[in-house]
Structures are given as structure tokens and as C-alpha cells.
Structure 1
């Protein structure tokens, strides 16, 4: 009798373990997605070193009392990123070019950016050691200039929008954006990156750690997409 109970007990125990393993192996990870319209706060604008965030706050809050100080800070960040010391073999954006991008909009009419006008007209052309050949602006400088022009653009018929992708996971991402045009965006772990795209419908695909992500998006305005592995 004892042997019979032992056999029944072992059978039930083994069956329970097998079902638990089966259940565990069939479970797949999912991606947690959060899509929002981008709203910039004063706290973000004052603490961030990203031109996109500072310019975005100025655009969304045209009458704010701290806009003049933020414009000066925006100029300083852009020019520091294109300084001779930072990139000795790259031709930076001139101050006049940056000033034109920032000031050529309705928010800045009648206001000074407190920039030295005489120095702003100077284009600094840098060359490699031992060579007189001019270098082209870096891709980062071109991307920054394009982004600022877009943010300060008041044309409702603007054909571009940008997608900011915030990666909350511990894994690096390569987000593929497929539509009439194709884009790839590298997003570091617990970091973010943005890309300008033509407005339209796109399929966004990536793999967040071990979880696959695919989503159809109709991009008609600037948006932020936050990705993470679901709990």
C-alpha cells in the first residue's frame, strides 16, 4: 500500500514539474511601448545640453521670460559642439549660419541674440595638417542644422517630422523605419536618438533585448516613442 501511494505521489509531482516547464518555455517577452506628442518643460530646457530640447521649448513657449537666456545658451551649445578644439579637422557651422537658423522665425523678430556681430560673420575654415583642402561639415552638424530649421519652421505644409526614440531597456537598439523611404536609427541602452523623416505611414521594427517589436505609425507630427521590455 505504501508503495502504491509513493508511486502515485511521484507521478503527480513529475506531472506538475513537466507542466510548469512547458508553461515557462511557452512564455514570450513583450515590448512595452509609450507614444506621446513631445512637450518640452522649462526644467528640461535649462538642464539639457541637447539643442533639440532647448529649441523645442522656445518654439512651444514663444512669450516665456527666459527665452532670451535660452537662445543664448542654445547658441553656445551649438558653437561649442563645432569648436576648433573639439573637432580640429572639421569645418564647423559659422555663427552667422547658426544665428540665421535660430533667429529667422516669428518668435525672434525684434529681439537680439546677444551675439558678437563682428565675430558672427566669420566663417572658420579648418584644414587638416599639411593640407589646404577644406573639410565638409560633419554629419552631426548637418543633422543639428536640419533639426533646428524644422523646429523653428512655421510652415503648416512642412513635409518633415521627427521621431525621438527613447530606449528604457538595457540593450542597444537598431530601429528600422520602413515606408516610402527607409531609415535606421541606432539607440543606445537607456539612451535616446531622433531622426527626421518625411511625413507618412511607416512600419517600425526592432528587437528590444529578446522581445520583438513591430508597429505601424502614421507620422504627421513630431512624436516620441518610448520602448522597454514589459514586466
Structure 2
């Protein structure tokens, strides 16, 4: 009799284990793709220069344009502080103000005149007259490239950017493969962005234990939200 009960118990245990294992394998990645739209609330509360610049470009003539431009300049200056980069001479606040004011962020885009197309030379740090030249940090160069892209009103711009929001509890390494190859590190419960050449790409990553792979035709700035769903 004991042997029968033991056999029944083992059968029930094996069945439960196999179902649990099967359930674990059934996890898939939930994806949400949206065009990037910046809100007033985000622009006022963020510490990211790209969000403020993006909001100003999407909302020309907004009542809080001047206030947000001042905040944008302050954020750029903070990232350009000598304490953060002791070997690099930061550019002056006046020069940064000139960059922002000349970006045409407070005017509607759609002009082919030379005045409407800002120079693509945004830079937040300069070596000045230092004897030993030092390159800006990767973060500064990435931010500079992003803001230059946002400031640019040229419809023929060949670049777009992807912002990935990671809603899962796992860190993501997103591989973007196409005519060029990129890797994007996205922290758990965080986000990160990358500027890429427009075109078709295959995005792959592991969201915790779930595999994600998607073909994307990138022709404009987009945002992807990734998470794991059962």
C-alpha cells in the first residue's frame, strides 16, 4: 500500500513540476512602440536636456519657452562643470545661451533657408588653450549629438533615435543590427537612448528569461517599452 501511495505522490509531483517548467517557458516579451511625444510635465520635472529640447521643438511658441530654455542652459552647464571634467575647460554660459537661442526651438520647423538650419556643431566642452588636449567624456559627446539632432530642423536629417524604457527587473543589452551595428545598455526599471542612422534594423535582447527579437524600420524618433508578460 505504501508503494502505491509513493508512486501516486511521485506522479503528482512530476506533473506539477512539468507544468511549472512549462509555465516558466511561456513568458514572452511585451512591447509597446510609440512616437516620442514630450509633455510639459516631463519638461518641467526632468533632469535630461534632451527632453526639454524635444518639448521646445515640438511646442514652438509655448508660454514657458523662455523658462525652459534657461533650465536647458543650466542643465548643460551643470554637465559641463569643471568639477565633473577637471582636465577640460568648459565653454562659457554666454556661448551655450547662444547655441540654444540660435537653435530655432521657439519657431516652427519647415524652412529651406540657411538661417533655419542650425549649424551641427553643438559642443559642451572645449580644450581651449590647454597644452594637453582632452576629449569630452562619452556622455557629453552622446548628449551633444542628441541635442544637435533635436535642434536640427532639416527634414532630410539621416539620423533618428530610439529611446528604450525597460520595465522589467533585469538589465538589458539591446543589440541593434542593420547597415550599422549598435549596442545599448538599459538598466532595470530604467531607460536609455541611442542615435542611429535611419534604416531597417533587427533589435534583439533577453528580457530576463524571455527572448526578444523584432524587425524595425526606423524613419523617425521612436520609443520602445519592454517588459515580460506571462
How far the C-alpha of 1:124 sits from its partner, in A, is: 6.8
Q: 1:183 to 1:101 in 2, by over 3 A?
A: farther
Q: TM-score, normalised by structure 2?
A: 0.82
8 A contact 1:167–1:192 mirrored in 2: yes
Paired residue secondary structure (1:106): coil
Deviates more, 1:194-203 or 1:27-36: 27-36
How far the C-alpha of 1:88 sits from its partner, in A, is: 0.9
What residue number does 2:17 align with?
21
- Provide runs of 4+ in structure 1 moved above 3 Å: 6-17, 91-101, 105-109, 122-127
Q: 1:72 to 1:229 in 2, by over 3 A?
A: same
Gaps of 5+ in 1: 110-121
Q: 1:215 to 1:100 in 2, by over 3 A?
A: farther
Q: How many residues align?
A: 211
Post-superposition CA distance 1:171-206 (Å, at most 9, x none): 111111000000001111111110000000101111
Q: 1:86 to 1:126 in 2, by over 3 A?
A: farther
Q: Which has the larger radius of gyration?
A: 1
Gaps of 5+ in 2: 108-124
How far the C-alpha of 1:18 sits from its partner, in A, is: 2.6
Output the CA distance in 2 between the equivalents of 1:135 and 1:156.
Answer: 34
What residue number does 2:154 align with?
155
What residue number does 1:32 align with?
30
Paired residue secondary structure (1:88): coil
8 A contact 1:178–1:203 mirrored in 2: yes
Output the CA distance in 2 between the equivalents of 1:90 and 1:124.
Answer: 6
Post-superposition CA distance 1:92-116 (Å, at most 9, x none): 355465345422333346xxxxxxx
Aligned residues: CA RMSD: 2.4
